[in-house]
Copies of this chain bind each other. A is one copy, B any other.
Amino acid sequence: MRDFSQDHSALALNTATLGHNLDGYGAGWSPERVIDACAARGYGGITFWRREIGGQAVQIGQAVRAAGLRVTGLCRTPLLVGPGAPDDVTGDFRASIEMAAGLGADSLTIVVGGVQEGTKGLGESLKIVRDTVARMADEAQSAGVMLGIEPLHPVYAGDRSCLVSVRDAVDMIEEIDHAAVGLDVDVYHVWWDRSLVDQLARLRADQIAGYHICDWLAETRDVLLDRGMMGDGVADLTAIRGAVEATGWRGFCEVEIFSKHWWSRPPEEVLDLCAARFRELC
């Protein structure tokens, strides 16, 4: 495993950590200010959300690279299935690929959506997801964007993600079998899964599209907005990264903390603490 104790250039910021869905960032920051703050602190990359980019994808991508960072990712495609999926999944999926390409983002995260109305269990919904991702994979590849299928925590299975285990995600990746389709591993969603090592061993390094860090607070008060800072919870961060790196993967570790608590803190403090905890614990 890599040693980050003296170097956090492998750390990327997911802008959700600064409260991307408040009015502006937590303190009204622009993307440009986030880029400057990350560059000043030695971060290696930034992952944005579509709502922050608007028509400025090319400019923002250039600004990131001019600051010496990478655009590690873009969140996200539309939900592909279930009550939250838009009428025109294909059109919105294509728009997200185009934005990711404009940014020069390494990957585009897919949150797949919940249970298709009129069905029970996860099976039918997963088939719809698989077929949709397979249909869009060539376009992503042509755009130079890796699609990252992200299994969410099983608490979201009803309405946000019928894909809730690494096993199901790896099954899907094998079924689609496309160079532009890989896996996003997020500590929050998978920390409880004792089959993680075995399931990740089924993948090559180039099938890991992203690795997201935070922590699971032992007493989680809100499953959406109470993620923990690394070290404040019960996830075994070393073991999880070890399982991901056992594939040979050596990519960015992207900190993504949805938290009312951290969103109420000054962004500078959050960025500093993320970097310190990353060096110490991740």
Contact = CB atoms under 8 A, between A and B. Distances in A.
Interface string A208-224: 00000000111110010
Contact of A158 (B159, B165, B218): B218
Interface size class of A (residues with CB under 8 A): 35 or more
A164 B165 CA distance: 12
A165 B191 contact: no
A80 to B, nearest CB: 16
B83 A114 contact: no
A16 interface: no
A236 to B, nearest CB: 3
B83 A218 contact: yes
A22 interface: no
A176 to B, nearest CB: 17
A95 interface: no
Interface in A65-110: 82-83
A81 to B, nearest CB: 12
B121 A220 contact: no
A238 B122 CA distance: 13
Contacts of A119: 234
A168 B192 CA distance: 11
Interface in A224-240: 233-239
A274 interface: no
Contact of A165 (B114, B115, B194, B237): B194
Interface of A: 82-83, 114-115, 119-123, 153-155, 157-159, 164-165, 167-168, 191-195, 216-220, 223, 233-239
23 contacts: A114-B218, A115-B234, A120-B234, A120-B236, A120-B239, A121-B191, A121-B234, A121-B235, A122-B192, A122-B194, A153-B154, A154-B154, A154-B155, A154-B193, A157-B216, A157-B234, A158-B217, A158-B233, A159-B218, A164-B192, A165-B192, A167-B195, A223-B223
